[in-house]
Amino acid sequence: MKYHAQNPLLFRTNRDRFVKKMKSNSIAIFHAHPGLPENSDTHAYYKPNSDVVWLSGIVQEQTMVVLFPSNPDKTAQEVLVIVRPNPELEKWNGHLLTKAEATAISGIKNVQFVDAFDAQLHVMIHNAESIYLDSNENDRLDLSLPRIDLRYVRQIMRAYPLHQYLRAAVIMKELRAVKTKYEVEILQQAIAITHKAFNRTLQFIKPGVWEHEVEAEITHEFLRNRATRHAYGCILASGDRARVLHYVDNNQECKDGELILMDFGAEYGNYCADLSRTIPVNGKFTKRQKEVYDACLAVHIYASKILKPSINYMDYMDKVNAEMEKQLVKIGLISKADIKNQDPANPAFKKYFYHGIGHHLGLDVHDIGTRTKPVTEGMVFTIEPGIYIEEEQMGIRIEDNYWLTKTGSINLFKGIPRTTEEIEAFMKK
């Protein structure tokens, strides 16, 4: 790992939070998948099971976390299972954690090796009445693809068919959505690195540079500040390409008079930042660009003011969409008549704002969490309104990350240039 060692109290706290939600005499098993193959004999970049990381901080392949708070063997009420260090394998792939190192990271004292744990797990399961198994229940999951998370679920259910089975994901969806102060401290570091990278782009971008050159500047700043990698595919969309929400080709020249929409974030300590800014390639907004940008920013600011504990997320989105309608009328993109005569299933504003206002943020960029219940203190959301105008070949999006407090929210990107005046002043400097 590139990032600094984290406080194991973070993971102890998370395990305690999960255990308090478990039914009596139940065991919870969290299993990290092995590396996934690419072409030939190569492997894809390893992204561990986020639930295993949330519970232990371990990012090594095949790691398991087993929680059994009512285990008669009090030394095995929580067990961390890792791959056994292998000197020959380490010559090829690098260091594998020792038991002592795994304990130092996770705070779990009982550490076992994967190749010798089956017999112990067998006894633990026999002493439990019900079993929590982990699976990916993100609402946006592509169910058409084979699911490696279900392979272990089926294995356990075949071996122990008479137990009661419970969904760990239900508890995780509730708990991971609410960040502890330890999590926000790490997230703030990912955000600080992203802030530095954005400032670097403001001083680098000018007519004639290419989108991939901007990406290189961002990547350089990420790595020199110990970020593991980009938290997601870096979007650097100049000109009309800004209307493509997930444009990642980043292979075109940035031209005088264009805007460039930048959507990127650093991953640090396994937590993800998520920033969007739209800036003028030549350092100066035109009158129309400024008008549209200010309308988008007005929606963003409005959303940040009403996003507070107790508001239902669906109601929140409806209110933000109504504000977007108001701003689009103001800048001449839709009319009150368009709104009056619109199809409720396809409202007029959707022509220019065709995505959601934000999402949960944490270990995953699109982190797990409810969208149907009132939001609560401790949740972290992105706010990212956008205005995309095909006839003007323009796309603008403004995104920050907000941590909910008792009375409102804190912008974790506070201090980063956001207004047109701030952006122009920084680029000029």
pLDDT single digits (tens) 345-360:
999 999 999 999 999 9
Q: Is residue 1 part of a domain?
A: no
- Could you tell me the pLDDT band of residue 142, with boundaries at 50, 70 and 90? confident
Q: Same domain, yes or no, for 410 and 312?
A: yes
In 265-370, DSSP assigns E strands to 266-268, 271-272, 275-280
Taking the model in full, what pTM does it have? Answer: 0.95
Q: Same domain, yes or no, for 81 and 194?
A: no
* Distance in angstroms (rounded) separating the CA atoms of residues 411 and 107: 31
Q: Same domain, yes or no, for 111 and 207?
A: no
Task: With a cut of 90, say whether residue 34 has pLDDT above it.
Answer: no
Q: Same domain, yes or no, for 18 and 86?
A: yes
Q: Identify the domain containing residue 39 by its residue range.
A: 9-176
Q: Same domain, yes or no, for 327 and 373?
A: yes
Tokens coding 299: 């929606």
The total domain count for the chain is 2
Tokens coding 313: 């997320």
Q: Is residue 202 part of a domain?
A: yes
Q: Please check whether residue 316 is in contact with residue 385, taking contact to mean a CB–CB distance below 8 angstroms.
A: no
pLDDT of residue 114: 96
Sign of CA dihedral 107, 112, 118, 124: negative
* Distance in angstroms (rounded) separating the CA atoms of residues 127 and 71: 7
Bridge-based pairing of strands 409-411 and 64-67 is unpaired
Q: Is residue 287 part of a domain?
A: yes
Q: Same domain, yes or no, for 330 and 410?
A: yes
369: exposed, middle or buried (Cβ count in 10 Å: 0-12, 13-18, 19+):
buried
* Distance in angstroms (rounded) separating the CA atoms of residues 252 and 277: 18
Q: Is residue 3 part of a domain?
A: no
Q: Please check whether residue 127 is in contact with residue 72, taking contact to mean a CB–CB distance below 8 angstroms.
A: yes
Question: Angle, to 10 degrees, between the axis of helix 211-224 and the axis of helix 181-204?
Answer: 140
Q: Same domain, yes or no, for 138 and 200?
A: no
* Distance in angstroms (rounded) separating the CA atoms of residues 210 and 342: 40
* Distance in angstroms (rounded) separating the CA atoms of residues 262 and 288: 19
Run of H or E residues at 173: helix 168-177
* CATH number of the CATH domain containing 229: 3.90.230.10
- Could you tell me the pLDDT band of residue 290, with boundaries at 50, 70 and 90? very high
Q: What is the dihedral of CA 206, 207, 210, 211, to 10 degrees?
A: 60
Task: With a cut of 90, say whether residue 67 has pLDDT above it.
Answer: yes
78: exposed, middle or buried (Cβ count in 10 Å: 0-12, 13-18, 19+):
buried
Picking from 124, 156, 176, the residue at the C-terminal end of a domain is 176
Q: Same domain, yes or no, for 306 and 346?
A: yes
Task: With a cut of 90, say whether residue 429 has pLDDT above it.
Answer: no
Tokens coding 357: 């206002």
Task: With a cut of 90, say whether residue 143 has pLDDT above it.
Answer: no
Q: Is residue 133 part of a domain?
A: yes
Picking from 125, 152, 176, the residue at the C-terminal end of a domain is 176
Task: With a cut of 90, say whether residue 279 has pLDDT above it.
Answer: yes
Q: Same domain, yes or no, for 248 and 376?
A: yes
Q: Is residue 289 part of a domain?
A: yes
pLDDT of residue 38: 87
- Could you tell me the pLDDT band of residue 373, with boundaries at 50, 70 and 90? confident
Q: Same domain, yes or no, for 101 and 209?
A: no
Could you give the C-alpha distances from 246 to 233, 250, 409, in angstroms and in order?
A: 8, 11, 27
Q: Is residue 2 part of a domain?
A: no
Bridge-based pairing of strands 164-167 and 380-383 is unpaired
Q: Is residue 69 part of a domain?
A: yes
* CATH number of the CATH domain containing 45: 3.40.350.10
- Could you tell me the pLDDT band of residue 48, with boundaries at 50, 70 and 90? confident
Q: Same domain, yes or no, for 125 and 98?
A: yes
**For the residues 357-374, what does the mean pLDDT come to?**
94
> What's the Rg (C-alpha) of the chain?
24
Q: Same domain, yes or no, for 316 and 394?
A: yes
* Distance in angstroms (rounded) separating the CA atoms of residues 14 and 178: 11
Q: What is the mean pLDDT of the chain?
A: 96
Picking from 176, 199, 216, the residue at the C-terminal end of a domain is 176
